[in-house]
Amino acid sequence: MSALSLAAALAAHGVDARVEARDALAVITVPNGGAAERLRDPELRRSVVALAAQHGFKTVALELASATDDRAALSGH
């Protein structure tokens, strides 16, 4: 399993993503924008899962990168 080779394969398929390997899990993080919007397509998601399997991963988690800091304090708190 190689996160780098999966990231390269995803890029070759037009998916801008960062990949982190956690044992047999591929955590694929995409920018919250155009790339995330493209992943709404079920066929593209199936392709992503197939690519992950070809690179030795058993499961995939898709994560959207946030432009804001989720740890920021809420207003008034």
Report pLDDT for 35.
76
Q: What percent of the chain has pLDDT over 70?
A: 84
Averaged pLDDT for residues 47-57: 95
Q: In this predicted model, which residue has the larger pLDDT, 74 or 12?
A: 12
Give the other-Cβ count within 10 Å of 52's Cβ. 23
53 — pLDDT class (breaks 50, 70, 90): very high
Report pLDDT for 73.
52
Instruction: Supply the CATH classification number for the domain 3-65.
Output: 3.30.300
Q: Give the containing element (helix H, strand E) for 48.
A: helix 42-54
The alpha-carbon radius of gyration of the chain (Å, integer) is: 14
